[in-house]
Chains A and B, each alone.
Chain A
Amino acid sequence: MKKSFWPLLNTLKSRTTVPWCRSHFTYYPDKSPKEVISTGNVTEKMNMVQAINNAMDLVLAKDPTAILFGEDVGFGGVFRCSVNLRDKYGKDRVFNTPLTEQGIAGFAIGVANVGSTAIAEIQFADYIFPAFDQIVNEAAKYRYRSGGLFDCGSLTFRAPCGAVGHGALYHSQSPEAYFAHTPGLKIVVPRGPVKAKGLLLACIRDPNPCIVFEPKTLYRAAVEEVPTDDYVSELGKADILRKGKDVTLIGWGTQVHVLLEVAEIAKKEHQIDCEVIDLVSIMPWDRDTVYNSVKKTGRVIVAHEAPLTQGFGAELAASIQEKCFLHLEAPVKRVAGWDTPFPHVFETFYLPDKYRCLAAIKDLVNY
């Protein structure tokens, strides 16, 4: 292991193909997020990992009942989101769990049952499924089935999700729709550091079990000026990131950045004026912002990485046609991952990239 094979390998000809190095989006930092303006806070340059770390640091400092745990969380987590927190708050409050997601979820529910704050990390969203029963049948239904006697509202799950270029089937999935199908859970997806911190803090304080799906490709790629103090990003609120009159583009997480670039190209090359909405909150979702925009533009595209069938775009499309039918100039269009597992070497063909989104915009305008 010590001995380097670099020299040997260097004798090989240069690479012919490195498809996994291609990033399918350009990151657009928030110009003036309402979180920064409203708090009047001192800001600091942070990437998404640092912003999440900062949020958890604040909670652990302020809330003596708060505990933070998951697989490999102790040494900082495989994505380094909890780095230094064990040293700062001790291993009783920041710790590794045995390797079992159903255990992590059930344990988190118990912690919350007695009123303590649980911040549980699921190492990859793709590995949340062993915990599905605990989350869907227990966490989501605790208050309802006990007539309000018991709940687990003080628990929050964090799970890295989404495409990274080379994650294949089990390091790429976006499972938000499975959980949105379950009444009782709140689900959010940040698009960058400011939002990641504000949403995490909001989820931790919200009296309902919440899941934050963090697009892991943004962890280091996304850098913004983030307020260093406490603030929350309101749950259930979408953000209009670009105003436009011709087509409404709706996305969340990484896809927001794809859509922002597409809107730019559509304007520059086709004089099409797109309005870009980051849905931010999958459940509950911001009906007012979406309907108002669609009523204005009459055309809408929903784009997400998760497969088309039963993706959350299906819910949006159905609701939009119901509420905005007479305003629509064209059918609601979904651009999504195909109805296949997430494949390794075909990722570039799988994703709802800017070319597919732009083509959809042109289709809608020419409908």
Chain B
Amino acid sequence: MSLIRQTLKHFARINGILAKRLLSLDNANVQNRYNNSTSTDDPSQFPGAKAPFVSNLKLIEHTDYDAIPIYRVMDSDGYISDDSQDPQLSKEVVQKMFNDMVQLNTMDKILYESQRQGRISFYMTNFGEEASHIGSAAALEMRDLIYGQYREAGVLVWRGFRIDQFIDQCYGNCDDDGRGKQMPVHYGSKELNFVTISSPLSTQMPQAVGAAYAMKLRPNNDACVVCYFGEGAASEGDAHAAFNFAATLQCPVIMFCRNNGFAISTPSHEQYKGDGIAARAHGYGMATIRVDGTDVFAVYNAMKLARKYVLRENKPVVFEAMAYRVGHHSTSDDSTAYRSADEIEVWNSKEHPLSKLKSYMVRKGWFNENDEKEFVKDVRKKVLKQINVSEKKLKPNWKEMFEGVYSEIPAHLKEQMKELESHINTHRNHYPVKNFQE
């Protein structure tokens, strides 16, 4: 009752104001108001939107807006046209960026082939997206929490995930931190603040927002959350939920979209009709930025800016890194069925993030052909050696299958474990027990 009365009172008050205003206007002015077809400065009182009234009837098309521009620092030849945008990183930092990208690239090539040989069951490469991983990771602090999709191995490389950790996970052996539970490339590291990857797409997005919200509430919070996802994953309902929660609950989270043009075979023009993922931000009331994801410095600068913004404002940013998925979707995919080799070649040569950074380093006099060769050789050797080692390691004890379902193994699972144990004991020759820890 009282609510209705209050509302009525409110209306009466507004009406009074309006009436007074109208009375004070002369006739010509009133006439003018009603004929005017351009916007007035009289904002609406609707709770759902604060906007001016207009009397010209018109659909607003998405093409009425300009596309969000792509920020870049380096061109295809690694040339920086606007010096003010050079992040002025030291030789050591740039060298680490380059080496990490090369390591990722080299590791990917070998592990991809190792799946082809049946050594590991599955693999996904990161070709063409190395700069968006390394550039973004380099701009963050280790205390920032990462939620990934699956094609962000470079972030882990930058943070110090070791070759043996990558390869042990792919083998799911007894030294895999994930305990052999998940498919290859589903990495995770508590130490490196990288939440374990999960296959169902976009599930990490609202989770990242929740984490950011909880972190914001902690006294003196100085860490943000970064959530990586593909432009395909951005179509899931969870992506919408994440954006809307991030905006309404004002969360210090960077929603990092890797727009690589494909979701398996589906090209981005069949995935969305608007201006990519960056343009969605405004619909939700979020800040946004779009960068050239093959330009490591552009990603770096933009990420620095985004990080500063989300922590200063306690508000989210949508970050869209444009690139091209140079490799097949995964080892289960043959992308020649849906795109041309010529198209791939452009992105694998001239537009490849490694070639851009290399050109920059050459110009700086920081590039040594021999050093690079040695570095690649060294990584190859390490990876191959590690494959040999990881392959020989035993898998975790099969009883671990029952661990981690709950915080403690409940009675019914203990019973099932016992049942399996006695079954295995009477059928030892039928189970690969010798490959598993005792």
Contacts and interface: CB of A to CB of B under 8 A. Distances in A.
Given A71-B264, A78-B264, A20 B391 contact: no
Contacts of B401: 338, 340, 343, 346, 349-350
A170 B198 contact: yes
B172 A98 contact: no
Contacts of B200: 126-127, 129-130, 170
Contacts of B402: 338, 340
Contacts of B232: 99
A171 B181 contact: no
B348 A99 contact: no
A102 interface: yes
A15 B388 CA distance: 9
B384 interface: yes
Given A96-B270, A346-B398, A350-B401, A12 B332 contact: no
Contacts of A366: none
Nearest to B230: A99
Interface in B347-393: 348, 380, 384, 387-388, 391-392
Given A20-B121, A166-B122, A355-B427, A1 B348 contact: yes
Interface string A298-314: 00000000001100000
Contact of A72 (B113, B173, B266, B392): B266
Nearest to B172: A345
A6 B326 CA distance: 20
Contacts of B435: 16-17, 19
Interface residues of A, number: 60
Interface in B245-291: 263-266, 270-272
Interface string A222-242: 000000000000000000000
A168 B337 contact: no
Contacts of A42: none
A341 interface: yes
A341 B405 contact: yes
Given A19-B432, A20-B121, A76 B337 contact: yes
A96 B198 contact: no
Contact of B396 (A19, A130, A345, A350): A345
A44 interface: no
Contacts of A76: 337
Given A170-B199, A308-B416, A99 B119 contact: no
Contacts of B405: 339-341
Nearest to A102: B237
Interface string B37-54: 000000000000000000
A113 interface: no
A344 interface: yes
Contacts of B326: 1
B125 A346 contact: no
Given A127-B200, A166-B122, A11 B384 contact: yes
B236 interface: yes
A5 B119 contact: no
Given A8-B110, A171-B199, A346-B401, A341 B121 contact: no
Interface string A90-122: 000001101111110000000000000000000
Contacts of A89: none
B110 A9 contact: yes
A168 B110 contact: no
Contacts of A130: 200, 236-238
Contacts of B187: none
A3 interface: yes
Contact of B183 (A3, A168, A359): A168
A343 B435 CA distance: 16
A166 B121 contact: yes
B420 interface: yes
Contacts of B305: none
Contact of B432 (A2, A17, A170, A359): A17
A72 B330 CA distance: 14
Contacts of A168: 181-183, 186, 199
Interface of A is mostly: loop
B219 to A, nearest CB: 37
Given A20-B121, A167-B183, A169-B181, A99 B199 contact: no
B69 interface: no
A321 interface: no
Contacts of B125: 1
B312 interface: no
B45 to A, nearest CB: 35
B384 A346 contact: no
B264 A339 contact: no
Contacts of A9: 110, 113-114, 117, 119, 384, 387
Interface in A146-180: 165-171
A323 interface: no
A21 interface: yes
A100 B400 CA distance: 34
A171 B423 CA distance: 26
Q: Which of B121, B391, B426 has the most CB of A within 10 A?
A: B121
A359 B391 contact: no
Given A1-B326, A346-B400, A348-B431, A359 B423 contact: yes
A344 B183 contact: yes
A4 interface: yes
B159 interface: no
A22 B430 CA distance: 12
Contacts of A13: 388
A318 interface: no
A193 interface: no
A9 B118 CA distance: 11
Contact of A5 (B113, B173, B398): B113
B118 A8 contact: no
Contacts of A19: 395, 432, 435
A333 to B, nearest CB: 12
A166 B270 CA distance: 31
B236 A99 contact: yes
A99 B233 contact: yes
B86 to A, nearest CB: 31
B64 to A, nearest CB: 23
A103 B240 CA distance: 12
B332 A343 contact: no
Nearest to A17: B435
Q: Which of A15, A72, A126 has the most CB of B within 10 A?
A: A72
B416 A344 contact: no
Given A75-B265, A340-B401, 10 more contacts: A1-B127, A9-B113, A9-B387, A12-B387, A71-B264, A166-B183, A344-B180, A345-B172, A345-B181, A349-B431
Closest 9 CB pairs of A and B: A166-B121, A170-B199, A345-B180, A98-B235, A345-B172, A346-B401, A5-B113, A99-B235, A99-B232
19 contacts: A1-B125, A1-B326, A2-B348, A3-B109, A5-B113, A6-B117, A11-B384, A71-B264, A74-B270, A96-B270, A98-B270, A102-B236, A168-B181, A309-B412, A343-B181, A346-B395, A349-B401, A349-B424, A350-B401
